[in-house]
Amino acid sequence: MNLKILVTAGDGIGPEVTNQAVAVLKEVAAMGGHSFTFDAKRIGGVAIVQDGTPLPADTLNAALASDAVLLGAVGGNEFNSLPPGKRPEAGLLQIRAALGGFANLRPAFAFKELAVNSPLRPEVIEGADILFVRELLGGLYFGQPREWNRAAGEAWNTMRYTRDEVARVARIAFQLASRRRNKVCSVDKANVLEVSQLWRATVTEIAMEFPTVALEHQYVDAMAMHLMNRPRDFDVVVTENLFGDILSDESGVITGSLGMLPSATIGGKVNLYEPVHGSAPDIAGKGLANPLGAILTAALILRHSAGLEAEAAAVESAVRKTLEQGFRTPDLARGDTTGLKVLSTTEMGAKVRETVKSQLSAVRS
Ligand code: NAD
Ligand code: IPM
Ligand code: MN
């Protein structure tokens, strides 16, 4: 298996966590005789400083010529006063648009060992396993017109969707649900917004193509509550761009830390892989970042871009085993830490790699 991976590590903890994800991928490649090649390019704040733009042409061209892009995170406090189009985050939105992936898969799996780390009771989250399918190229993020008219003291953004944009992401959600627990929950605000009424009508229409999958609709405000009260009831959750952004971070409460959440964006020219979390300027450069979200993102590369399902599952199970053995990064060691071993970012990466190696050699012998 040959795979050309472009790493755009970005800012803050981005480089720290992607280094660990890349090291895991290298281990998998070495064990299986696969040829994975890695190239690194700038994006975000680091690119603004060095190249004068958050997405240099060189980075974009390399991304389009790769088989998969692994992104760390972008953003930093020093850029907070810039307008949206000039900020590090603009580089991320531009690369998403250029690569064309519209379905951002954000699995949230509650590892049993991390239940104590969540403010929710263990019996509420135990076994929770949700796949958010976030529409990534439409809605408020990309809708026109958008402007801050300072003279008028007025600003506006536009939440816009076409029927086809909703239909294509809904189809992905139903297809994925048919391989899981056959449930789709579509989240909108159809009691207030026309764009949500189009969303709901379209999702309902696409559901007819998937008679074995049960569809329910929830309003986004109620959904924010249901996710905390009864997360185990949900299988696939499909929603528009901004609602998906918000609800997926909220699911960090179910998993015990935002640092546990991976993502894969599919459906475009080149798949884009990024952990859900941001550049975490508050902990950057201190070795405190949890690399497991990025490592689980590496597993998604193996699954969705390399077709190496067994290896993807081995990485996921190595993460579980590492947690079972009591290893934690500081974000996973709140409260009573008796019996736990708190590790730095690089130490955690090394532990997972060790386990990946022994799992894959066990499979091969
Ligand atoms: P954040 O996700 O960076 O951090 C939120 C909180 O979670 C912080 O307390 C942080 O320390 C913690 N956290 C996040 N990831 C962690 C990890 N792997 N291990 C341990 N703790 C972790 O969100 P924010 O603080 O709202 O945003 C910071 C910057 O990141 C902003 O510029 C924002 O725009 C950007 N951002 C980028 C992306 C991305 O590039 N994909 C995603 C979200 C936010
Ligand atoms: C995410 C982030 C991004 C988003 C920002 C940084 C543009 O929050 O990936 O969840 O809102 O999509
Ligand atoms: Mn977000």
> Based on the domain organization, do 141 and 239 belong to the same domain?
yes
- CA distances (Å), 320 to each of 33, 86, 239, 328, 341, in order? 25, 40, 28, 11, 15
Whether residue 362 lies inside any domain: the answer is yes
The pocket around ligand 2, CB under 6 angstroms, is made up of 75, 89, 92-93, 245, 276, 278
Whether residue 177 lies inside any domain: the answer is yes
Q: What is the pLDDT of residue 321?
A: 98
**Domain stops at, among 225, 255, 285:** 255
3-state secondary structure the chain: CEEEEEEEEECCCHHHHHHHHHHHHHHHHHHHCCEEEEEECCCCHHHHHHHCCCCCHHHHHHHHCCCEEEEEECCCHHHCCCCHHHCHHHHHHHHHHHHCCCEEEEEEECCHHHHHHCCCCHHHHCCCEEEEEEECCCHHHCCCCCEEECCCCEEECCCCCCHHHHHHHHHHHHHHHHCCCCEEEEEECCCCCHHHHHHHHHHHHHHCCCCCCEEEEEEHHHHHHHHHHCHHHCCEEEECHHHHHHHHHHCHHHHCCHHHCCCEEECCCCEEECCCCCCCCCCCCCCCCCCHHHHHHHHHHHHHCCCCHHHHHHHHHHHHHHHHCCEECHHHCCCCCCCCEECCHHHHHHHHHHHHHHHHHHHHC
> Based on the domain organization, do 126 and 245 belong to the same domain?
yes
Q: Which atom of ligand 2 is nearest to the CA of 75?
A: 6
Q: What is the pLDDT of residue 336?
A: 80
> Based on the domain organization, do 299 and 244 belong to the same domain?
no
Residue indicated by tokens 């480089």: 15
Position with higher pLDDT, 359 vs 364: 359
Q: What is the pLDDT of residue 362?
A: 81
**Domain stops at, among 214, 233, 255:** 255
The catalytically annotated residue of 58, 112, 221, 233 is 221
Q: What is the CATH number of the domain that holds 187?
A: 3.40.718.10
> Based on the domain organization, do 158 and 275 belong to the same domain?
no
Whether residue 114 lies inside any domain: the answer is no
Minimum CA distance residue for ligand 1 atom 23: 278
Q: What is the pLDDT of residue 155?
A: 98
> Based on the domain organization, do 240 and 273 belong to the same domain?
no
For 278-324, the pLDDT digits (tens) are 999 999 999 999 999 999 999 999 999 999 999 999 999 999 999 99
For 125-174, the pLDDT digits (tens) are 999 999 999 999 999 999 999 999 999 999 999 999 999 999 999 999 99
> Based on the domain organization, do 269 and 338 belong to the same domain?
yes
The boundaries of the domain holding residue 288 are 1-105+257-365
- Model pTM? 0.98
- CA distances (Å), 284 to each of 8, 75, 281, 345, in order? 17, 11, 5, 11
Give mean pLDDT, residues 99-125: 97
Whether residue 197 lies inside any domain: the answer is yes
Minimum CA distance residue for ligand 2 atom 4: 245
Give mean pLDDT, residues 21-38: 97
Distance from Cα 136 to the centre of ligand 2, integer Å: 10
Q: What is the pLDDT of residue 365?
A: 64
Instruction: Let me know if 249 is a catalytic residue.
Output: yes
Whether residue 150 lies inside any domain: the answer is yes
Q: Which of 69, 86, 92, 95 to mutate to test the pocket of ligand 2 (most atoms within 8 A of CB)?
A: 92
- When the pLDDT of each residue in the chain is averaged and rounded to a whole number, the result is 97
The pocket around ligand 1, CB under 6 angstroms, is made up of 13, 17, 73-75, 89, 92, 258-259, 274, 277-283, 289-290, 293, 331
> What is the domain count for the chain?
2
**Domain stops at, among 227, 255, 283:** 255
Give mean pLDDT, residues 229-238: 98
> Based on the domain organization, do 243 and 292 belong to the same domain?
no
- Categorize the per-residue pLDDT at 227 as very low, low, confident or very high, splitting at 50, 70 and 90: very high
Which region among 2-11, 129-138, 250-259, 332-341 has the lowest average model confidence (pLDDT)? 332-341
Distance from Cα 220 to the centre of ligand 2, integer Å: 18
Is the pLDDT reported for residue 335 higher than 80? no
Distance from Cα 275 to the centre of ligand 3, integer Å: 10
Instruction: Let me know if 141 is a catalytic residue.
Output: yes
Percent of the chain at pLDDT above 70?
Answer: 99
Distance from Cα 17 to the centre of ligand 1, integer Å: 12
